[in-house]
Structure 1
Amino acid sequence: MSSFTLPATMKIVRQLDPNSTTLSMEEAPLPKPSHADDCLIRVYTTSPCVGELHWQVWFPSIVPAGSPRVPGTEAAGVVVQIPEGDTAQASGFKVGDRVFFRVEPEQTGHLRQYSLARLSQMAHVPSTMGWIEAGSTALSSLTAWQGLFQHGILDSRAIFGDVAAQKNNQKLSILITGASGVVGGWAVYLAALAGAGRIVALCDSLNTAYVKELGATEAVDYKKESVAQWVAKDPATREVDVAFDCVGGMTLGTCWSAVKDGGILLSITGDPGKEKPDSSTKTLAIAKWILVEPNGQQLQSISDLIAKERKCITKVDSVLDFADFQQAFDKVEARRANGKVVIKVMDI
């Protein structure tokens, strides 16, 4: 149902060629739901994700050839149409709600004035959060949440007061690489709120104060020494139960030296097994590349946390108008952004 007067067409940005990062704006009809739980959203803000313009070439099994190639996997906006039936009523969402969400890569993206998200993928935007933060928080915060609590061994219940979970988390140590980045920052913050006993943040010295403010107990300057060099000074006290890598490459490889034998190594950038040093004899309980999944319940927990703490830590590099979409993606693709680049699809 909808109480909004909807236009017949909308502005939409497409990637015409999967082998090119050039984007094009055009007029198109409003999207029609293709899933029973699809909601129509009037998009206010969205954020590019580094590498997403290459996903169809790199990961054809995830982004099929028939994809509409509209970029933007996360966004925030207002619900203008919701499915009929008991499922929608039980979901707690209604027309007019402010929501944010992240969808699957094979679903169409949100760099358009109206888009679709499923009830199971959305969460309510907390009252303390504006559109800029709302359109740039779902992807990074969900990635960190799932890395720590779904794939890792920290217990998220500790954040909301579970005493047994808090005691368990206090026994655990974690290394987070890229700790001052958008995902790494959320990982440090959530690990601290969950009461992890040790949180080692890998960053440069310029960001030491920032990561410690987020809750890191220690900081290692990767420009001065590698993780392997740092651990080698005192392996007995410096090895950790879990390493959460947000950098990849050589940094991911050195994480093997930091994790205790039988520990856990997770990366959001690549397969840890392919980066294992020949000299390492460790056998880990888990060593895998994790991909974030849309999860409205987890995102709602994050939303509730933001409302409770009255703090959103998403680092925003810049905010650009809808017409400047190519500039936004070029900046992200060139890795010149210190934080999220937000595109204002609607005036806010």
Structure 2
Amino acid sequence: MSNSLPPNMRSIFQQASSSKTLTLTNTPLPTPDHAQGEHLIHIKACSPCAGELLWPKNFPPPTARTLIPCPDMAGIVISAPSGSPFQPGDEVYARTNYIRPGNAREYSIAVTDELAHKPKCLSWVQAAAIPVSAQTAWQVLFIHALGTSGNGNGGEMDMEAAKVAWAGKRVLVTAASGGVGIWLVQLATMLGAEVVGTCGSRNVEFVRSLGAKEVLDYRVVDLREWAMQLPSNKVDVVIDCVGGKALGDAWWTVKDGGVVLSIYQPPLQVCPDGFEDDSVKDLFFVMQPARRQLEEISKLVEKGVCRGLVDSVWPLEQYEEAFKRLDGGHAKGKIVFDLSLNH
């Protein structure tokens, strides 16, 4: 590593897995293990995930680690393994793996298969808003929702196969104006699906602008009543991003033989009383970072086919206000920390 690096860095860390209390403090820089594919990254911007301060309690890391939030990041490679496609000076972005501390710090670690080249058309803040949301949506649509695990490619369809598979399918996306929701709407529309999105009234036109054919204000529309009004309202696939009541209500909208998938919780946990269609499949999964997928997403961003969305930008010092905004559940797109602010 360069001798010009500072001995310490600003870091946000969670004091205990049983508490959501955060602290901003100075910590030593991490040391990358190049033999394990690790790169040292100078973090320019990072982004938290909704609910992530509950993860250490509900899903303890496999080995004890410092609890630093923000799995999404964008930054510059400082040091890299020999032969890595990402060398010092390269601009990268990633959703890093949960087994290591996150990226709410000035220097962090990422391995080769997590990283992708940052789209040149994006700022650091714009790039940091993309990885976990876009890759989650990608894995929903290209791997999980249509059950393609037997295709011999780790279950992942290529672009042309996905377009054939999704053409004409009706898809309901809950929380369609949220971080993952906006990517589901854009990617599903690109693949030829007919998207119905739910969101609050102030975001209806925005979700429509992303490609949704129909947008439902969740405060006004009862999904069960909506599904019963016309048989054609029912959908082939429900993709839920919020869980709870929204997911429970969404069960009523799915066709016989359809799929209810949630990235928030196992759908059967909130399957409503009286729903008796055994032909409906239910799915829950946790995304895993994958370099190749993020590079494909970079290409779509560069072509202007898809875009991320930044809700608000914060300096690290305002971490309490930023996480309060995140926990409020009404962010439009992603909350991002810009590490160049207030420093």
Q: Same fold (TM over 0.5)?
A: yes
| Secondary structure of the corresponding residue to residue 331 of structure 2 | coil
Corresponding residue for residue 225 of structure 2: 229
Give the Å deviation of 1:4: 7.8
| Match status 1:115 vs 2:108 | yes
Which residue identity is paired with 1:12?
Answer: S
The residue correspondences of 1:270-309 to structure 2 (distance < 5 A) are: 270-284=265-279, 286-309=281-304
Cα gap change, 1:252 to 1:9, in 2 (>3 Å) = same
Q: Render the CA deviation track for 1:178-221: whole Å, top value 9, x for unaligned.
A: 1122211110011111111x211122343222122111112222
* C-alpha contact (below 8 Å) 2:177/2:199 kept by paired residues: yes
Once residues 117 and 63 of structure 2 are traced to their aligned partners in structure 1, the CA distance between those partners, rounded to angstroms, is 32
Q: Secondary structure at the match of 1:206?
A: helix
Q: Deviations over 1:149-180 (max 9, x none)?
A: 2212398644xxx3x65344223221111112
Q: Is 1:9 aligned with 2:15? A: no
Q: CA deviation at 1:73?
A: 0.9
What's the offset of the Cα at 1:289?
A: 1.8
Q: Distance in 2 between matches of 1:126 and 1:79?
A: 15
Judged with a 3 Å threshold, the aligned counterparts in structure 2 of structure 1 residues 18 and 25 are, in CA distance, closer, same or farther, namely same
The reply to whether residue 176 of structure 1 matches residue 170 of structure 2 is: no
Tell me the alpha carbon deviations over residues 306-339 of structure 1, each in whole angstroms, 9 at most, x when there is no partner.
Answer: 0011752x22221111222232223223435333
- Aligned partners of 1:43 and 1:114 also within 8 Å: yes
Query: Aligned to 2:142, which of 141, 145, 149?
Result: 149
**Distance in 2 between residues matched to 1:97 and 1:140, nearest whole Å:** 23
Find the partner of 1:189 among 186, 191, 200: 186
In structure 2, distance between residues paired with 1:240 and 1:338: 25
Give the AA of the match of 1:345: L
Aligned equivalent of 1:211: 207
Distance in 2 (CA, whole Å) between partners of 1:104 and 1:284 is 35
Q: Aligned equivalents of 2:306 and 2:275: distance in 1? A: 41
Alignment of structure 1 residues 80-95 onto 2, 5 Å: 80-84=78-82, 86=83, 88=84, 92-95=85-88
Give the letter aligned to residue 58 of structure 1.
N
1:106 partner letter: I
1:62-141 counterparts in 2 under 5 A? Answer: 63-64=61-62, 66-84=64-82, 86=83, 88=84, 92-141=85-134
Q: Secondary structure of the equivalent of 1:294?
A: coil
User: For 2:319, which of 322, 325, 342 is the aligned residue?
Assistant: 325
User: Counterpart in 1 of 2:55?
Assistant: 55
8 Å CA contact retained: 2:183, 2:306: no
Query: 1:78 corresponds to which letter in structure 2?
Result: I
Looking at structure 2, the residues matched to 26 and 165 of structure 1 have their Cα atoms a distance apart, in angstroms, of: 46
Post-superposition offset of 1:286: 3.1
Find the aligned partners of 1:157 and 1:260 in 2 and give their Cα distance: 26
- 2:122 alignment partner, SS class: coil
Within the alignment, does 1:201 sit opposite 2:197 as a pair? yes
Counterparts of 1:310 and 1:130, CA distance in 2: 17
Deviations, residues 285-306 of structure 1 (Å, cap 9, x unaligned): 5312221211111111111100
How far apart are the structure 2 equivalents of 1:71 and 1:168?
36
TM-score of the pair, normalised by structure 2:
0.90
Superposed displacement of residue 82, structure 1: 0.4
TM-align CA RMSD: 2.2
Change in CA separation of 1:281 and 1:316 when aligned onto 2, cut-off 3 Å:
same
Deviation at 1:125, TM superposition (A): 0.6
Q: Does the 8 Å CA contact 2:12/2:316 hold for their aligned counterparts? A: no
Give distance in 2, aligned partners of 1:286 and 1:299. 28
Deviation sequence 1:77-133 (CA, Å, 0-9, x none): 00111012x4x2xxx322111111112222111111100011000111111111111
Change (3 A) 1:323 1:269: same
Say whether the 8 Å CA contact 2:241–2:263 is kept in structure 1: yes
Matched position secondary structure for 1:116: strand
Q: Sort the Cα spacing of 1:49 and 1:210 in 2 relative to 1 into closer, same or farther, 3 A.
A: same
Q: TM-score, normalised by structure 1?
A: 0.89
* Residues 165 and 116 of structure 1: CA distance in aligned 2, closer, same or farther (over 3 Å): closer
Q: 2:263 aligns with which of 265, 268, 271?
A: 268
Contact 1:76 1:135 in 2 (8 A): yes
**Contact 1:48–1:328, Cα closer than 8 Å, also in 2:** no
Length, aligned pairs only: 333
Q: Does the aligned pair in 2 maintain the 1:140–1:183 contact within 8 Å?
A: yes
SS at match of 1:17: coil
Q: Which residue of 2 aligns with 1:250?
A: 245
**Offset at residue 38 of structure 1 (A):** 0.8
C-alpha contact 1:243 1:264 (8 A) present in aligned 2: yes
**Secondary structure in structure 2 of the residue aligned to 1:212:** helix
Residue 309 of structure 1 aligns to a residue whose secondary structure is coil
Amino acid at match of 1:341: I
Gaps of 5+ in 1: none
